[in-house]
């Protein structure tokens, strides 16, 4: 089977899962952590190179303060509890987003997790926190403008490569497969540049219901698709990429 090198997931539906069961939204977020753990473990077993999880968007700051506070607490708890296990299993962690908006204690834990796992060679788990796709492109554009103003880069030297090197996922391949749980069919300001040729898969399952079976279903869908990148089917069949 054709396995994606990089999977990106919007983990949607924690709150609805809890509400359907008459539970507080916090119960849904805690249940969602189990799905995160199961997904990481399955991706590692399958040999996936990179898994990017949309944990907290730049727009999520607009949610009720109590829910935002709980989410931050859960991040701290998860880092304290899971990093040792991830490190033991050769998994590398990376965080992307406007991390300066986060509390100093959380940033310190994130930095420690990145440093501890930096030498690992297995699955790379990227956690997008306080992240927005428009912010990502904007901060890359500002970096290009600074380079031009300093005389380090001419305007006609600006290329996709130069911009890519300044995006949050710099150094990693673009996602091959995007999955969104919860039934909504939109990408919600997630990796806007990087998803240009990504295969999209929308599932009705709420995130706490997501597990190995759902991931296998999405990967099976991916394996059946023909990725043409603007070419014809005949050109794809004749190209080295398809062999």
pLDDT at residue 62, as a whole number: 81
Among 69, 27, 64, 84, smallest CA distance to 206 is for 27
* Band of residue 243 on the pLDDT scale cut at 50, 70, 90: very low
* Residue of 77 and 180 predicted with greater confidence: 180
- CA dihedral 129→33→86→54, nearest 10 degrees, is -30
Q: How far apart, in whole angstroms, are the C-alpha atoms of residue 12 and residue 205? A: 9
Is the pLDDT score of 96 beyond 90? yes
User: What pLDDT, on a 0 to 100 scale, did the predictor assign at position 159?
Assistant: 96
Q: Looking at residue 59, what is its pLDDT?
A: 85
What's the predicted TM-score (pTM) here? 0.92
Give residues with Cβ within 8 angstroms of 51, minimum separation 6: 6, 7, 8, 9, 39, 40, 43, 123, 124, 125, 126
CA distance 56 to 29: 12
Taking the alpha carbons at both ends of the chain, their separation in whole angstroms is 13
Give residue-wise pLDDT tens across range 163-173.
999 999 999 99
6-133+174-242 folds as: Undecaprenyl pyrophosphate synthetase (3.40.1180)
Quick: pLDDT tens for 109-125. Answer: 999 999 999 999 999 99
Query: What residue spans define the domains of the chain?
Result: 6-133+174-242
What are the residue numbers of the active site?
12, 60
Task: Output the six-digit token pair for 18.
Answer: 């809890």
Predicted pLDDT of residue 65: 84
Of residues 230 and 32, more confidently modeled: 32
């Amino acid at each position: 089977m054709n396995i994606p090198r990089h999977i990106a997931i919007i983990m949607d539906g924690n709150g609805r899962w809890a509400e359907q069961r008459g539970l507080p939204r916090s119960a849904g977020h805690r249940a969602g952590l189990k799905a995160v753990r199961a997904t990481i473990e399955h991706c590692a077993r399958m040999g996936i190179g990179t898994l990017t999880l949309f944990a907290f968007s730049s727009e999520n700051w607009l949610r009720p303060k109590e829910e935002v506070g709980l989410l931050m607490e859960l991040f701290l708890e998860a880092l304290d509890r899971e990093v040792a296990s991830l490190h033991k299993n050769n998994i590398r962690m990376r965080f992307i987003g406007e991390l300066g908006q986060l509390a100093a204690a959380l940033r310190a834990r994130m930095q420690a997790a990145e440093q501890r796992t930096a030498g690992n060679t297995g699955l790379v788990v990227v956690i997008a926190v306080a992240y927005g796709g428009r912010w990502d492109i904007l901060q890359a554009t500002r970096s290009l403008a600074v380079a031009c103003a300093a005389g380090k880069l001419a305007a006609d030297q600006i290329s996709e490569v130069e911009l890519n090197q300044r995006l949050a996922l710099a150094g990693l391949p673009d996602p091959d497969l995007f999955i969104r749980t919860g039934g909504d069919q939109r990408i919600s300001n997630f990796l806007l540049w990087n998803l240009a040729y990504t295969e999209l898969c929308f599932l009705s399952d709420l995130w706490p219901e997501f597990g190995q079976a759902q991931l296998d279903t999405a990967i099976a869908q991916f394996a059946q698709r023909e990725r043409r990148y603007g070419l014809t089917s005949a050109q794809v069949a004749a190209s080295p990429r398809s062999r």
